[in-house]
């Protein structure tokens, strides 16, 4: 059964075609990425603001193996299928693409977004794929993060309380 949310979760080949169609129609495609393990207000605020920068929001989602390499062997808490469905269920997310590489650079080069976005805990120079996007005439932006929200802090709070 292919639900509405599952149809937003695309493999790279389908995503390239879909994104190219959006761009041919004159739509600005925004790309961001992350683990999005235990979704919280900070994630929602960030993604909503990212989508407001263009017409479509494409989200690169780290695979379970990738999250474990980045965050440690006990992560992710929520598996990649569930994380992908959660992200796809958000009305302001238009496509979700899983990636396993250490950075989303290859994915960014494949989908060719018009705007690349990360949180303001990054500088534009440190954002993977920024050189590529800028070289094509695209934009790279940072978004202010909501203070006090992080998955790691949330996990610590849960551990201390239980």
Q: Per-residue confidence of the chain (162 residues) as pLDDT tens digits?
A: 467 788 999 999 999 999 999 999 999 999 999 999 989 999 999 999 999 999 999 999 999 999 999 999 989 999 999 999 999 999 999 999 999 999 999 999 999 999 999 999 999 999 999 999 999 999 999 999 888 888 778 888 888 887
Whole-number Å distance between alpha carbons of 77 and 117: 25
pLDDT at 162: 79
The CA-based angle 13-15-18, given to 5 degrees, is: 115
Retrieve residue 156's tokens: 């610590």
Q: How many separate domains does the chain show?
A: 1
* Helix (H/G/I), strand (E/B), else coil: 30: strand
Residues 6+ apart with CB under 8 A from 86: 36, 39, 78
* Residues spanned by the domain of 50: 4-161
Q: What is the pTM of this model?
A: 0.93
Query: Residue 123 belongs to a domain with what CATH number?
Result: 3.40.50.620
């Amino acid at each position: 059964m292919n639900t509405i949310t599952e149809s937003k979760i695309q493999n790279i080949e389908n995503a390239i075609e879909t994104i190219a169609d959006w761009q041919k129609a004159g739509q600005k495609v925004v790309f961001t990425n992350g683990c999005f393990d235990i979704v919280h207000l900070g994630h929602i605020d960030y993604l909503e603001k990212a989508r407001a920068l263009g017409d479509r929001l494409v989200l690169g989602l780290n695979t379970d193996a990738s999250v474990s390499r980045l965050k440690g062997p006990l992560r992710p808490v929520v598996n990649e299928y569930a994380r992908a469905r959660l992200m796809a269920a958000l009305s302001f997310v238009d496509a979700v693409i899983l990636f396993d590489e250490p950075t989303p650079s290859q994915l960014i080069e494949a989908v060719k977004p018009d705007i690349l976005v990360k949180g303001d805990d990054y500088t534009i120079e440190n954002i993977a794929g920024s050189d590529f996007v800028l070289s094509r005439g695209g934009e790279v932006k940072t978004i202010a993060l909501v203070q006090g929200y992080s998955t790691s802090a949330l996990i610590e709070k849960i551990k201390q309380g239980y």
